[in-house]
Structure 1
Amino acid sequence: MENAEKGAGESAAERAYRELEETGYGYGPAFRGLSRVWTRGEEVFAEVVLPDEAGGPDGFGVHPALIDACFHAGVFRTDTAGQEQKLVLPFAWNDVRIFAVGATALRVHLSFDGPDVVSLRVADTAGVPIASVGAVIARPVATEQLRAGAGSDWSRDVLFGLEWTEVALSQPVSTPAIPAIPVVQSAADVTALAVSGSTEGAATADLTARAGGAGAQELTAWTLSLVQAWLTEPALEESRLVVVTPSPADPAVAAVWGLVRTAQAEHPDRFVLVATDDRDTARQALPGILASGEPQLALREKAVLVPRLVRAVSAGGADAG
């Protein structure tokens, strides 16, 4: 086995990160974990240490900075010696196994199956197996592609954010007539409604009074009982339950919104979420809300808002769209 530092004027790590930078990789202090390297034929062995800048290993099977450093030793592979080095990125990971967690230093064995496939075995400093990867398949990427990806053109294509946009309902919010849409406050109410057959295509569940001072567990438990009851009644299959809440800025109400959004995803057109600062206004707006077909709405001072995806704003403050 040959020490990669033998006869060299720089350490293995210094050489590796110099050559990686020349190829197009830029590793900061948190990702410079390569320490020592040896070669044996076409195999590469190394020692890597988790840098202090990367933080501790808690929460990871193997810390990402540590596992990434294992592949930095590939600079010393002999089967591609003399060839022009290409910038490559991992494309597929196969047969990944983790045997132990918490390691901060690894002994590494790299073997290669062609220029684009590498297998990995790692152990701790005592030789106890930590992880193995049957094959990591890499694909070349042009430096120009990465530079383009960081520009505004890429931002315009893929970065979006959520924005509440004002819309007009078919029936104005200010309409004084209050529709006779039934209100349910318990699973028993839902059952009674189903038996009566008088749903008018919808019913409301009003959390605005309950939300004051109630915790997330209490509100979500109450909402869940209504949602489950609503879904188990065949007579209500063509009806929608309108869940009226205060602003989801309240963490407890936000939990309710998360629960109902999940129900909406699993059962389209069965639930409607309405946030309001005035329960009477919300009730007056129910015909327009139901006619709109919107699954989520917010009523604010006679304005009706719905969530829409919009082009994200760049870090500099300019609209990426």
Structure 2
Amino acid sequence: MAVDVGGVYERLAGVGLEYGPVFRGVRAAWRRGDEVFAEVALAEEERAEAGRFGLHPALLDAALHMAGVGPDGEETGPARLPFAWTGVSLYATGATALRVRLSPSGAEGISVLVADADGVPVASVDSLVGRPVVAEQLTASPQVARDSLFTVEWDRVPSEDMPGVASQAQWAIVGSDDLGLTAALDAAGHNVISCPELATLAGSPDVVLVPCVSESGPGAQDLSSATRHLAHRVLGVVQGWLAEERFAGSRLVVVTRGAVAAVLGEDVPDVAAAAVWGLVRS
């Protein structure tokens, strides 16, 4: 039995599922008992992109659009979003049009079989279980997305309030002190020692600072080389630190300047040092 698909996307919008032009791929549909058959295709302007995917996401999404539509083209229940996939197989890539068969699988799932326009199998899903969703949940999502965007805010912390660092702690600086940390710590009354490399550091200071500044000036390396050099150096320090049991009670601090924006609109001149942030976090 043929199913009227002329207003399928208007009806889906009525239950909260609004699809843009690229995702409106249903071209025709039929029902045979509990089975649904459909033909779906990519919009003309998207077909050149099909080869970039195993199965174009808009085409895969369109293959499921008739799952909840009855013989008269009306929705048979609340909107359901894909939730649990079982037994997914991909047999061919680059399809721009599909023939789809949707049939019941278990108490709540459907099985999906898709082939290309010539009937060659493209993909199959043993069971796809959807989760019901009401229109109010979907229409509220843009506001939720705006409310859930977070940014980093930096607060100045007085040195005496630094957690885990006593006022009489011993500080060590490893490498060239290009950031003037020694003078700042001396002025604050802290006990500071210096050494060129971590391997030559005596004892187990409470805090070990590693100044991290990329080279600048006429003789400096290009940006890519400076980034590699700085990241390689810090990686060696971190690996050496982790290998030394004597540092188990100490704290390692990699110090940069101009590598991240601490306040809105602040410039980030040391791009090479910015890469170090990602390295240490990972």
1:19 maps to 2:19: no
Alignment-derived partner of residue 67 in structure 1: 60
Q: How many residues align?
A: 245
Query: What pairs up with 1:223-234 in 2 under 5 angstroms?
Result: 223-234=234-245
Structure 2 residue matching 1:163: 3-state secondary structure: coil
Give CA deviations for 1:35-63 in whole Å, capped at 9, x if unaligned. 12233332222221112455723543322
Root mean square deviation of aligned Cα: 3.1
Structure 2 residue matching 1:256: 3-state secondary structure: helix
Q: Which amino acid aligns with 1:257?
A: W
The answer to whether the 8 Å contact 2:215/2:226 transfers is: no
Name the CA distance, whole Å, in 2 between partners of 1:16 and 1:223: 58
Q: Structure 1 residues 22, 115: CA separation in 2 closer, same or farther (over 3 Å shift)? A: farther
1:240 maps to 2:248: no
1:134 maps to 2:126: yes
Name the CA distance, whole Å, in 2 between partners of 1:115 and 1:168: 61
Give CA deviations for 1:66-94 in whole Å, capped at 9, x if unaligned. 1110011225555x998853222222222
Query: What pairs up with 1:8-157 in 2 under 5 angstroms?
Result: 12-52=4-44, 56-77=49-70, 84-113=76-105, 116-151=108-143, 155-156=146-147
Structure 1 residue matching 2:124: 3-state secondary structure: strand
Give CA deviations for 1:88-126 in whole Å, capped at 9, x if unaligned. 222222222223322222221111247842111112223
Name the CA distance, whole Å, in 1 between partners of 2:92 and 2:61: 17
Q: Which has the higher contact order (CA 8 A, sep 6+)?
A: 1
Give CA deviations for 1:220-260 in whole Å, capped at 9, x if unaligned. 11111111011101111111222122322333212111111
Name the CA distance, whole Å, in 1 between partners of 2:74 and 2:255: 69
Name the CA distance, whole Å, in 1 between partners of 2:274 and 2:109: 46
The answer to whether the 8 Å contact 2:103/2:111 transfers is: yes
Give CA deviations for 1:126-159 in whole Å, capped at 9, x if unaligned. 333222222121222222233333336x754x33
Identical amino acids, percent of aligned pairs: 39
Q: Structure 1 residues 15, 148: CA separation in 2 closer, same or farther (over 3 Å shift)? A: closer
Give CA deviations for 1:153-193 in whole Å, capped at 9, x if unaligned. x754x3322222333332896972574534455xxx32232
1:192 maps to 2:200: yes
Q: Which amino acid aligns with 1:228?
A: Q
Q: Structure 1 residues 99, 83: CA separation in 2 closer, same or farther (over 3 Å shift)? A: closer
Structure 2 residue matching 1:147: 3-state secondary structure: helix
Name the CA distance, whole Å, in 1 between partners of 2:138 and 2:66: 23
Alignment-derived partner of residue 219 in structure 1: 230
Structure 2 residue matching 1:166: 3-state secondary structure: coil
Q: Which amino acid aligns with 2:110?
A: V
Q: Structure 1 residues 165, 176: CA separation in 2 closer, same or farther (over 3 Å shift)? A: same
